[in-house]
Every structure is written in structure tokens, then in C-alpha cells.
Amino acid sequence: MSPIQTLRRHRVAALLGAALIVSPFALPLAPRLNDVLAATVTPPVTGMTAPSGSFAPVVAADKPAVVTITTVMKAQQPDTMSDASPFGGTSPFDDYFRHFFDDQGQPAPKTPPEQAPRTEALGSGFIVGDDGTIVTNNHVVDGAQSIKVTLDDGTELPAKLIGHDAKNDLAVLKVKTGKPLPTVKWGDSDKLMPGDQVLAFGNPFGLGTTVTAGIVSARGRDLHSGPFDDFIQIDAPINRGNSGGPLTAVNGNVVGINTAIFSPNGGSVGVGFAIPSDQAQKVVAKLMKGGSIQYGYLGVQIQPVTPDMASAIGLDHPAGVLVAQVSDGSPAANAGIETGDVITSFAGLDIKDPRDLSRGVADVAPGTRETLNVWRKGQSLQISVEVGRNEDDMATGSVTGDQGQPSTEQGLRAPALGLGLMDVTPDARQAMNLAGNQHGALVERVDPNKAASASGIQPGDIIVAVDQHPVRSARQANQAIVQAAKSGKKSVLLLVERGDAQMFVAVPFASG
């Protein structure tokens, strides 16, 4: 295999999120009916007690408002079933979702599309309005041809989808009855702390409304399922079919919506996740009014600021988010935001991590003008930006290089970092399907025992800037790295292009 072939193979490899390393499976909780008997038995949680000695009063009050949701959809062939995942089409968990939904239970028969059989799936929900307004997960009803709600007393009612939002994985349904329905109240999820007791309601495996008890294990979990991840982690057993069911505090108020689990076997192992009620309640209110949500849009790719990055760009401590790429023609580009800027606040809100900025921008109505505080090359600046509208089909924006001639010198090794660099030659452009004007320093090899490898640099990456100064060749990159080392910096900041994305990587000299 030639060096160029090797680089191409590394370049097209998917960059997976760290959550995939934590556990082999992350599963949605809405199963097909024929999967019910495949459930593994989960041992009961021991040692949980309510303040009064029993959760029975809470269960008696809330259980009548918990519903079972049955959806009917046209079955897809096993190799095309990809919409069952609440984590979206580009999630590193998608393979596991497809495996889970395709291989468990009876496979769909090989029939022509027009004769494809229908399948049924189960989920849960809860009533928030006595007029029949019901909240559930989007992935419970996504793609459904029809939706049926079964009340706690066994009454079956057809349901209408009022609104849904894939980014937050939430949906609102409506059923019609001749009488007011029992409801549950929203609670304050912001007051939850690790160790607080919680109850999880739902219909696991189609057995009927069930309640389990546990505690809040952690807050603010990011499963890489979407831009607004802020999950509550719980150890109360939840399983397939619990999706969309309420998570309540011991006072009976809803503090979350059961959404996903990590599991090696399809059953609960005590690691479940719920959408916080404070986030859900705002989204539900918007869905009830308009059926969909318009999110604000900036047009930047961002990443956290690590201690090494802070040192490289002159910050006293890690703060804000680093702009790795600005989409052409985006609101950010029009406002003058640049690659390498560190956004420290938006609309008066301090930005501590990428989720802060994603949520802050998303909550702003398109067309609103807001102020950004940025750190740029040692100076603090204020930038006014008109927030755009986030469309699902908006492209991130392509990266263009400069138009000069590339250097012909190859094989340079960056000192101390463990990088073998070469120019982006015409052969490399052709082999790696790069643009004709693509320049920079192509990473030919990485010493596995050096700092660059530990920082995540891979063969096939293209270094396009060093310490926020563009580089066109391996020689320029090497010289810039040497200069950074001579200046006494603890690390050097590399802007790396990998596939269609750009990211900053801070490589420390000390570990070289």
C-alpha cells in the first residue's frame, strides 16, 4: 500500500465521539411489539425509600396521567432501517441502533416496497393538559403513519401530532375525549442534584404502566446526540418502551423525560438518561403554538478551549469556545468573526463550553441582533451579529486555500512533536480527492510515542495554520513550529483540516 493510499484511508476514517468509548450501546427506548419477550430481567433497586416510607402516594397521583403510545409505520428492509435512532443520522451510535432494531425479533419479509408490511412500536408519554395534550419523545412518533394512545384505564384513542422537534427529541400529541383528563405538573429540573431521589414512569416492553425508583447519578451529560444535549443521568431502571415517559421528583412533579440508556444487552444496567424538564417545557410550549421551532444560526464550527490551547493563544485560563471554521456567507462571516476567535460571551451570557453557545444562539429568534465578546490575538473585541435562521440543509461551508505555488521540499519533521510533514502535492490532491487550491502541510506520519499522537493528530490530516498564522507548505509549518518553541510557549496551536471539518489542536512541547 502506497503512502498516499495510507493517507487516504486515514482521512476517510470517521472521527467518533468519546461517548462511544464509554459503553458499547446507547439505545432508544421504543421497541417493536414483537420484541417484548426478548427483555432481560432487571433486578430491583434496593435501599430506596421515600421520605414517608413509601412512594405509593406519588405513584397513585401520577400514574393516571402516564400513557402508552403505539405507532404504526411501514416496515423497511433491514439494510435501510436508519430512522429509529433519536441520535440523528450522523451519530456514532447509528450502527448500534440499526443493529438493535433490525436483528432483534422477527426480520421483515423481503416484499416489494408497495407491499411492505406495517410494524408497530411502543413508547410512553404523559398528559400535561386536561384537554388531551401529551408530551413524548420525537423518536417515538417519528415517521409514524398513525398514532394511538392508551390511557391508564385502558381507553384507546387516536392521537394527532401537534408538533415535533428532532434536535431536542420532543413531540406533542393531542387526543380528544368527552371529559377532562388527569395531568402531571412540570417541576424544576435545575434544582436537581446528584443523589436526589427520582421515579421513572413508562411502559417497558409493553408490560403496562410501570414505575421504578432511583437517584440522579449526574447532570449535564452530553451523548453527542444533538446540539442541545444536557441529559440527566439516572440509575432508576428504564428499558425499551420507557421512551417519552415522565421522570418525577418525590413530590410528583415532572423533572425529566426518559429518553435513552447505555446498555450492552438491550436491558437496563442502571445508566439511563432523561431530558431536563426546564429544557423540555420551553420546547413543548413552542410546539403547542406553532408546530415547529425556528432556531438561531451563526455558521461557525466551535470547540472547547483546553488548557494547552489557552496557553498557546495567550489566555490566562481556559474560557469560551474556539472558532475552528466560519461558513462562507453565514451571519458569522458577515459580522466579521474569524477562525481562531475565542467567543467568551453571547447576548450577555458567559460562554463556558460549546453547548452554552449552541443553546444561546438557538434560543434567539432569527433576525435578532446580538453582541458577541471575542478574544482575538491578545485583544478583547465586541462584535454585533444578526442571527440567521438554522435550516437543516445549510452547508457548513467549504474551506479554500490560497492560490500560490506549493513548496517542493518534503519529509520535514516538526521538532519535538513527532510529526512527519510533506507538501500537498498534485498526486496527494488526486489520491485524497482534495480541491486543486488546497495547500498546507500534509501529515505523512505520526510518532505514536510523541506529543502529536497523544493530542489526536492523525496521518492524512492537513495543517493549514500554526499559532493562527496560515501555512502553505511543510517548510512553513515546520518553521512556524520551531519559532513557537523558541518563543518559550508551552504548546503550539495547530489548525487541522480533516475531511470536511476543521479543528484546532494544541500540542504541548513539554511532552515531546
pLDDT digits (tens, 9 = 90+) for 120-163: 888 999 999 999 999 999 999 988 889 999 999 999 999 999 99
Q: 3-state class of 492 per DSSP? A: strand
In the 8-state DSSP scheme, what is residue 406? P
The H or E element spanning position 454 is helix 451-454
Q: Range with the lowest mean pLDDT among 97-106, 235-244, 318-327?
A: 97-106
Cα atoms in the Cβ-side hemisphere of radius 13 Å centred on 67: 34
> Where does CATH 2.40.10.10 sit in the chain?
189-290
189-290 to CATH, choices 3.30.390.30, 3.40.50.300, 2.40.10.10, 1.10.3130.10? 2.40.10.10
Contacts of 289 (CB under 8 A, 6+ apart): none
3-state secondary structure at position 432:
helix
Q: Above 90 in pLDDT, residue 24?
A: no
From the number of C-beta atoms within 10 Å of its C-beta (0-12, 13-18, 19+), residue 468 rates as: middle
Reported pTM: 0.61
pLDDT band at 212 (very low <50, low <70, confident <90, very high): very high
CATH number of 399-508, picked from 2.30.42.10, 3.40.50.1220, 2.30.180.10, 2.60.40.10: 2.30.42.10
- Domain at 296-389, CATH class: mainly beta
Q: 187 and 251 in contact (C-beta within 8 Å)?
A: yes
Q: What is the pLDDT of residues 328-350, one digit of tens each?
A: 888 999 999 998 899 999 998 89
60-98 in b/e form (b: 16+ CB < 10 A) is: eebebbbbbbbbebebbeeeebebbbbbbeebbbeebbb
What CA–CA distance (Å, rounded) separates 191 from 193?
6
> Which residue in the block uniquely carries the three cell numbers 460549546?
354
Alpha-carbon span 338 to 330, nearest angstrom: 12
Q: How confident is the model at residue 410 (pLDDT cuts 50, 70, 90)?
A: very low
Q: Which residue has the cell 440543509?
A: 393
Q: What's the whole-number average pLDDT of the chain? A: 76
Of 467, 272, 501, 286, the residue nearest 399 (C-alpha): 501
Listed residue (323, 296, 300, 321) closest to 387, CA to CA:
296
| Residue range(s) occupied by CATH 2.30.42.10 in the chain | 296-389, 399-508
The residues annotated with a catalytic role in the active site are: 139, 169, 243
